[in-house]
Structure 1
Amino acid sequence: MAETLPHLLTVQAVERPHHVAIRHKQLGLWQQTSWLAVQEDVTKAAQYLQQQGFRQGDTLFLLSEPRPEALLLALAAHWLGGVAAPLDPAFAQPQLLDLLHTLRPQFVFAEAQAQVDQVLAAKPDSAVVIYADARGLAGYQHPALVSYAQVVATAEIQAIAPAVTADEIAFRFYRLSTNYALEYSEVSHAELLRNGRQLVTQEALTAHEEALAARAFAASGHAKYLLSPWLLAGFTLNFPENLATRDTDRRELGPTLVAGTATTYQRLYALTQSRWPLPGSWQHRVVAWALRAAKTRLPLIAAFARWLVILPLQDVLGLRRTRVPLLVGEPLSPEATQFFADIGIHVRAWPEATAWQTSQLQVIPHESHEAHAFWGFSKWKAAI
């Protein structure tokens, strides 16, 4: 039985080669990638990393919002027996630069110009910096820079067997503690698959699910309850065009599986409340009646209330088809929990038990955040 993420990918590529593994919205259009094509791109990326000196035990750092390239490069690092280390793009700029300056990454995926600038400011001698979005980078002359499109453009695919075992670390997560110490947590392939299988079994997940990856894989819960089940069940993983369009893309897509944090659901709750009818208005009384009536045992009244208010609310949130709404990590507020239950969205909490350890590395503050502008806009960019 396959007990690592790369081995599971090979299984899916054999069992359902032409089924849609990934769907990504680009310039308003959904682009589809089959399981076989995913495996080929991961193999090409692994081949490129290997040629650049990436070896078993090395770490590929990921600085990106949710997008397929980050996921496939993480699997490529796993393929070679390496570790993927997602850095939360929500980190404040000074903290992120201090993290990068301390970790000194050699192999990095930096999504776009802003992330490339952050990496080069903190570690200008990185060996490989792969980017996905080329806008603004045309004049950059740094020898480590390479586009993801170039990485997977090779026509030949070398047969590289996955060099990874179940007990090896798949992901390592970093954060800064309240006293500004560097902390990390690790999750192995075996742990990921154990948690993933538990979810697949309990929620009866199948290859027919449509899941939305609306957050970066910067927390262990998303790796355990979204990435691992995706490879185990073989369903389609969808990526929004960007964070600004994720709500629109969710409504358009209608995912059956949503794995979100408390922040995700609280944001949706706040979005709904901002459009809620004013207390005392006839619209507010209608909504309140419908929420009560939807729970009645009278079928016609319940159906009318559901048609009048409940279904439109689910449509606004893009949750009408969602049958598996997962909450990863910290709990929701009681008000938000009650609201989602009232509109028929029964959010299930899955714990994110993370054991954080203090690193022996001492945090090295980036000497001058102002120097970032000079460094990024002079040495690595063509004169304008």
Structure 2
Amino acid sequence: MHEESASNLPASLLARARQRGGDVALRHKRLGLWQERTWEQLLAEVQGLASGMREAGFVVGDSLVILSRPRPEALLASLAAQWLGGTAALLDPLAPAEEQLTLLRELEAGFVLAEGQEEVERVRQADSLPRLLFYADGRGLADAGVQSYARLAAQQPDSALSILAQGERPAFSFHRLDGEGQAQQQCLSHIELLGEAHGLIEQERLTAAEEALAARTFAASGQARYLLAPWLLAGFRLNFPESLATRDNDRRELGPTLVLGTHESYGRLYALAQQRLPLPGSLLRRWLDWALTAREGVLRYSFGYWLLLRPLRDVLGLSRTRVPLLVGEALPSEAQAFFAALGVAPRAWPETPRWQATRTLRPSIAAWPQGHEQPA
């Protein structure tokens, strides 16, 4: 059960650590092996990061700019910034280099988490001089001006460090350029995220037994709304693939019960399935088409399911999926019908980003609550 009293994301983490401290909360595949961390370990890591960031000068209202693909370090650094009353400002790591550079220059960020060498160099190219620049990739960088995430997180956590996050303040801010090159941002508050997470947990009956795969980039509001916040409230296990390139293999190995996808990600799985299907007109393809449309008769459906549909779900890594979620644009009718026939029809959840044009993207703007007028 989740606690109704938690009014912000770090408070939810603290509640899970007290309630389910020894349970595995997060796994990340590295060098082919799944590395596990418990709720207690996550709490200590976030507190260590928060202590190190505070020593570097991070205060209430500051933003931590994150330029990274999906990985635990990006998530836990976000929670550390929020613990200190700040905002995690997310840039799309797959956006064109010039867009990233423009946004980095506009933000003039004082605190930056960069994934590795390439991202660190991009921060430098933006002529940015952060007070704290640290990197997530554990392979290390020969650069005296950059700290490693591991070193920062290894600091002795200050258990007396109070949670400074406030429910109405933004937990995450997202940044992009529109078609005309105008900088835009959107913010999601702690209260908004937790409220939507409660709704998802209740409607989809999520429990601590779920296995979820965090394969989408963090720089998307749907991931914060329907994966990260529910994870903190329901206390299920969150899994990170080794890389975006290995996510399909990692999904097949994991067999997640909760899958969060978009028009693009489900479309990619649909295309992958089509490549694996027998050629049209062949005997096997006729059997499969028959199985995909079979719903009458227990014997007929059972035959189609165990002979054809179940193996196809295994190939896609959806063998155990019971909560397939879709955010954003709807799927084409043929793709939706295909997944429905497999028994994993994606259920649509709203993602209505409130992008706002900004004359400047200085971190202090992200600290203003939703609905409040920002300073000129």
Shorter-normalised TM range: over 0.9
Letter in 2 for 1:119: V
Alpha-carbon separation, structure 2, partners of 1:184 and 1:156: 32
SS at 1:187 equivalent: strand
Q: Distance in 2 between matches of 1:102 and 1:329?
A: 28
Question: Is the 8 Å Cα contact of residues 66 and 74 (structure 2) preserved in structure 1?
Answer: yes
What residue in structure 2 maps to residue 97 of structure 1?
A: 101
Shift of 1:156: 5.0
Give the whole-Å Cα distance in 2 for the aligned partners of 1:319 and 1:275: 15
Shift of residue 362, structure 1, vs aligned partner: 8.4
Residue pair 1:181, 1:362 contacting (<8 A) in 2 also:
no
Indicate which of 140, 143, 149 corresponds to 2:143: 140
Q: Which residue of 2 aligns with 1:236?
A: 237
For 1:247 and 1:91, how far apart are their aligned partners in 2?
22
Match of 1:39 in 2: 43
- Mapped pair 1:253 → 2:254: yes
1:108 aligned residue (99, 106, 112):
112
CA change 1:112–1:56 in 2 (3 A) is: same
Letter in 2 for 1:267: R
Work out the number of aligned pairs and report it: 358
Correspondence for 1:220: 221
1:283 matched residue in structure 2: 284
- Cα distance, 1:194–1:362 mapped onto 2, change above 3 Å: closer
Q: Residue 379 of structure 1 corresponds to which residue in structure 2?
A: none
Alignment of 1:336 with 2:340, yes or no, is: no
Aligned partner of 2:65 in structure 1 is 61
Q: What pairs up with 1:123-134 in 2 under 5 angstroms?
A: 123-134=127-138
User: Do the aligned residues in 2 keep the contact of 1:113 with 1:134 (CA within 8 Å)?
Assistant: no
Work out whether residues 206 and 233 of structure 1, in 8 Å CA contact, stay in contact via their aligned partners in 2.
Answer: yes
3-state SS of 1:140 partner: coil
Match of 2:310 in 1: 311
- SS class of match (1:171): strand
Unaligned runs of 5+ residues in structure 1 are 364-384
Assess if the C-alpha contact under 8 Å between 2:324 and 2:344 holds in 1.
yes
Question: Corresponding residue for 1:374?
Answer: none
Instruction: Report % sequence identity.
Output: 50
Match of 1:368 in 2: none
TM-score, with normalisation over the residues of structure 2?
0.92
Question: d(CA) in 2 for partners of 1:124 and 1:243?
Answer: 28
Per-residue deviation, residues 81-127 of structure 1 (Å, max 9, x unmatched): 00001111120122112221222222111111111111111134122
- What is the CA–CA distance in structure 2 between the aligned matches of 1:19 and 1:340, rounded to whole Å? 33
Q: Equivalents in 2 of 1:23, 1:170: separation in Å?
A: 23
Q: Is the 8 A contact 1:311 1:320 kept in 2?
A: yes
Give 1:158 shift.
4.1
> Contact (CA 8 Å) 1:60, 1:107: kept in 2 or not?
yes
> Contact conserved, 2:105 with 2:128, CA < 8 A, in 1?
no
Q: Secondary structure at the match of 2:88?
A: strand
Which residue, 9, 12, 34 being the options, matches 2:13? 9
Please say which of residues 148-157 and 90-99 is displaced more in the overlay. 148-157
2:48 aligns to what SS in structure 1? Answer: helix
CA contact (8 A) 1:261 1:328 kept: yes
SS for the counterpart of 1:150 is helix
Residues 198-241 of structure 1: CA deviation (Å, up to 9, x unaligned)? 00000010111111100122111110100110011000000001
Measure, in 2, the Cα distance between the counterparts of 1:132 and 1:180: 29
* CA–CA separation in structure 1 for the residues paired with 2:76 and 2:138: 18
Q: Provide the C-alpha distance between the structure 2 equivalents of 1:211 and 1:356, rounded to a whole number of angstroms.
A: 28
Q: Which residue identity is paired with 2:12?
A: L
1:140 Cα shift?
2.3
**Stretches (4+) displaced over 6 A:** none
Distance 1:129 1:153 in 2: 16
Q: CA RMSD in A?
A: 1.4
Q: Which amino acid aligns with 1:109?
A: L
Please give the alpha-carbon distance, in whole angstroms, between the structure 2 residues aligned to 1:266 and 1:23.
26
Q: Is the 8 A contact 1:105 1:123 kept in 2?
A: no
Give the superposition deviation at 1:157. Answer: 3.4
Work out the CA distance in 2 between the residues paired with 1:82 and 1:329.
27
Q: Does 1:122 align with 2:106?
A: no
CA deviation vs aligned residue, 1:110-151 (integer Å, no higher than 9, x gap): 11111111111113412211112143x54323x2x1111101
